[in-house]
A = this chain, B = another copy of it.
Amino acid sequence: MTEAALRNPVLEAIYSRRSVRHFTDEPVAPELIEEIIRAGTWAPSGLNNQPWRFAVVTGRELKARFEPLTKYRKVIEMAPVLIPVFVDKKAMYNEVKDHQAMGACIQNMLLAAHSLGLGAVWLGEILKSADQVRQLLSLPENLELMAVIALGHPAHRNQSSTRKGLAEVIVFKDY
């Protein structure tokens, strides 16, 4: 982390956020769940079309029905909250740009969760079961699953991660 980041809580959050896959039993207050979703909605989207839609699943029985739909069943089992995130196909205008907007939305949610002392992980592998997730929630076909966010109070924060250095990812500069 650079000097600038040390004094900047937004950069600090961006650099210290990690995927959290182990949670305590403590439930998450509905106000916090809604704050995280609100943060998602403040992502930018092309033409401000806001194509994102959200489900919130906290009930043990319903949550258990998600477990066979992914190889990350243990994360689902342990997380007190699942937020399946959908794109509304009726609101889309450009596939690439709308999928980017969904990513921006999800990143806002992950940063919001982290800033509120919660932990979260972005589950993508479960997209192989996108239709089943939609059907579990009795949602219409115009809603396409984009990710499931598993959320809770972190059991620990010892997840580490690495990134390529800037020299590897900056492919052109003229300064």
Q: Could you list which residues of chain A lie within 8 angstroms of chain B, going by C-beta atoms? A: 2, 4-5, 8-11, 13-15, 17, 19, 30-35, 37-39, 41-44, 46, 48, 50, 52-59, 62, 84, 86, 94, 96-97, 99-108, 110-112, 114-116, 122, 124, 127, 137-139, 143, 146-147, 161-164, 166, 169-175
Question: Which B residue sits closest to A137, measured CB to CB?
Answer: B172
Kindly state the separation between the CA atoms of A102 and B106 in the bound complex, as whole angstroms.
12
Kindly state the separation between the CA atoms of A76 and B56 in the bound complex, as whole angstroms.
41
Q: Are A169 and B107 in contact (CB under 8 A)?
A: no
Contacts of A162 in B (CB 8 A): 48
6 residue pairs of the A-B complex, CB under 8 angstroms, read A4-B116, A14-B39, A37-B166, A48-B161, A56-B174, A99-B103
Copies per assembly: 2
Knowing A11-B39, A41-B164, the reply to whether A174 touches B62 (Cβ < 8 A) is yes
Q: Are A139 and B171 in contact (CB under 8 A)?
A: yes
Contacts of A8 in B (CB 8 A): 115-116
Q: Are B10 and A10 in contact (CB under 8 A)?
A: yes
Contacts of A59 in B (CB 8 A): 174
Apart from A11-B116, A54-B170, A55-B173, what are 18 other A-B pairs with CB-CB below 8 Å?
A2-B38, A4-B31, A4-B32, A9-B10, A10-B13, A10-B115, A15-B42, A34-B166, A44-B107, A53-B170, A54-B169, A55-B171, A55-B172, A59-B174, A86-B171, A102-B103, A103-B105, A107-B108
